Structure 1
Amino acid sequence: MMNSTLRRGIYGWIAFAIVMVILPHVVGTGVTRSFVFAMYLAIFAVSWDIMSGRTGYISFGHPFLIGIGGYTTALLTYHLHWPLFLSIPTAVVVTMIGGTLFFFPALRIRGTYFALVTLAFMELIYGLVQVIAPQVTGGTRGLSGLETIVTGAIPNYYLALVVLLILGFTMWLVIRTHIGTALSAVGMDEDAVRASGINVTRLKLFAFMLSAFAAGLGGALYVHYLGSIAPRALFDVGFLFQILVAALLGGAGTISGPIAGAFFLTFLLEWLRPYFPGPERFLIYGTVALVLYVYQPNGLHELVRNGLKRLNQLKPSRDTG
Structure 2
Amino acid sequence: MKERQHVTRLTTGLLFIAFAGFYIVFIVLSSSSIDWRGPSIWSTFTSVGNNFAAGHDYFLWRNDGSCHLYFEFGGRVYWDRNETENFTLAGIDGQKSVCLDPGLAPPPGMCVVYSFGLSDDWSFESAMAQYGCDVYAFDPSLQFPKMPNNSQRINYFNIGLGTINTKKDPRGWKMATLTSIRKYLLHSYQPIDYLKIDTGGDEWLILEHMLQDGRSLRLVKQISMEVHLLHSARLHYYRNLTQRLEASGYVRFFSRQNPWMKNAYELAWFNVNYSSKSQLPVAIRADGRKEADLMVNYKLPPIV
TM range (shorter): under 0.3
Output the TM-score relative to the length of structure 1. 0.26
Q: Which of the pair is proportionally richer in helix? A: 1
Output the TM-score relative to the length of structure 2. 0.27
Structure number with the bigger relative contact order (C-alpha 8 A, sep ≥ 6) is 1
Q: Which of the pair is proportionally richer in strand? A: 2
- Find the structure with the greater CA-based Rg: 2
